Amino acid sequence: MDMVVILSTLDATIRLSTPLLLACLAGMYSERAGVFDIGLEGKMLMAAFAAAATASVTGSVWAGLAAGLGISLMTALLQGAAAITLKGNQLIAGTAINMLAVGLTTFLGIQWFAQGGRTPQLKEGERFTEVKLPFADELANVPVVGPIYSDLISGHNILVYIAFLAVPVTWFVLFRTRFGLRLRAVGENPKAVDTAGISVIAMRYQAVLITGLLCGFAGAFFSIAQGSGFGNNMTAGKGFIALAALIFAKWKPVPAMFTCLLFGFLDALQIRLQGVEVGGVQVPVQAIQALPYVLTVILLAGFIGKAVGPKAGGVAYSKER
C-alpha cells in the first residue's frame, strides 16, 4: 500500500471511530455510576433523526444539533426514570429504549417526510462540513508532517474534534474531580456514598444525563455530519460496538479512545478490503466485521486479561432495609 492509501484508510478510521468514541464515553459515565446502559444505540438513533429532521426544517445545522442533544437527553431521562426512580430492570429499560427508537424514528420519518423513512437530503449550512485547522495549507508540502497534519488531523468536521477532546475531559472529570470521585463511588459502593450524605439518586441522574448528551453528539454525527440526512436504522448497531469497546477498554477513557480507533480501523479496513484479494485469497469482510464482537467475548471470558465492571452496576439503589 502506498502513502495515499494508508492516509485515506487512517482518515476513514478517524471518521468511523468518532461516533463509537462518543457513544463509548457516554456509556462510561452511566456505567461508572452503576447504571448499565444497553440503550446507547437507541439514544443515538433518536438523536440522529431529531438532528436531521430539525436541520432540514429549520435550515440550520446548529438547530439540528440542539434538537439531537435535546431528544437524546429526554430519552436518557426516560430511561433514568425507569432504571433509577422506579427501580426497574436496567437492561430491559435499555432494550425498550432501543426498540422505541427504531419504531418512532421510522414511523415519524415516513409520516413527516414521506420518503420511506428518510429525511430530505441536507443542503449546505444544514450539516457540519470540514474544518480546516490553521496552517493546514502552509504545512501541506512539508514531508511526513505535512500530509499527516493537513490530511489526517485537519479537515474533519467539528464533532470529530469534540469527540477526541471529550477523552481528556472525561479522564479529568472522572479521575480528578470531586464529582468524578462521587460518580465512581456510586457505581462501586452506593451505600457508602449515601452514608456520606450524598444523594445516590441525584448522582446517577447526573451521570445518565451526561450519557444522553454524549449520545446526542454521536447521533448527530451520523445524520448531519458524516451523512446528509437520516436513513432508517442508520446507527446500524454502532451503539453495541461502542458497548463492546467500553468493556474492552475496561471502563477507562484513554483505553476507550484506542479501542474505538482500533474498531474504527477494522471498519475502515473491511470497507477497503471489499472484493480485494490478499495473496490470492479473498478476505471475508464479515470476519473483520465480526472481529470487535469476537474480541469482546474473548476478553469478557477472561482469555486475554479480565474485564470487571463497576461492582454496583445493574442494581437500582434502595435506601430501606
Binding site for other proteins (CB under 8 A): 38, 78, 81-83, 85-93, 95-100, 102-104, 106-108, 110-112, 114, 237, 240, 243-244, 247, 284, 286-287, 289-290, 293-294, 296-297, 300-303, 320-321
In the complex with other proteins, which residue's Cβ is closer, 87 or 132?
87
Q: Which residues, other chains included, contact 25 with Cβ-Cβ below 8 Å and sequence gap of 6+?
A: 163, 166, 167, 170, 214, 253, 256
Write the Ramachandran bin of 310: left for phi over 0, alpha for psi from -120 to 50, otherwise beta: beta
CB of 139 to other proteins, least distance (A): 41
**Burial (CB count within 10 angstroms: exposed 0-12, middle 13-18, buried 19+), residue 233:** middle
Q: What dihedral angle (degrees, nearest 10) is formed by the CA atoms of 119, 120, 121, 125?
A: -100
Name beta bridge partners: 31: none
- Collect all residues with Cβ–Cβ distance below 8 Å to 28 and sequence separation of at least 6: 170, 174, 246, 251, 253, 256
Q: Which of 98, 157 has the CB closer to other proteins? A: 98
Kindly state the smallest distance separating residue 320's Cβ from other proteins, in Å.
6
* Alpha-carbon gap, residue 28 to 39, rounded angstroms: 13
| 101 vs 167 by CB, closer to other proteins | 101
Nearer to other proteins by Cβ, of 123 and 191: the residue is 191
**Considering the complex, what minimum distance in angstroms separates the CB of residue 108 from other proteins?**
7
- The Cα diameter of the chain in Å comes to 69
Which triple of cell numbers denotes residue 5? 492509501
Question: Are the beta carbons of 156 and 181 closer than 8 angstroms?
Answer: no
144/278 with CB nearer other proteins: 278
For the record, the C-alpha cell of 210 comes out as 451526561
Q: Which is nearer to other proteins, 65 or 234 (CB)?
A: 234
Name residue 224's amino acid.
Answer: I
Bridge partners for 23 per DSSP:
none
User: What's the closest the beta carbon of residue 10 comes to other proteins, in angstroms?
Assistant: 24
| Distance in angstroms between the alpha carbons of the first and the last residue of the chain | 64
Smallest separation (angstroms) from other proteins to the CB of 286: 4
Task: Please state the closest distance from residue 58 (CB atom) to other proteins, in A.
Answer: 19
Minimum distance, C-beta of residue 287 to other proteins, in the bound complex (Å): 7
For the bound state, the minimum distance from the C-beta of residue 35 to other proteins, rounded and expressed in Å, comes to 12
Between residues 75 and 150, which has the closer beta carbon with respect to other proteins? Answer: 75
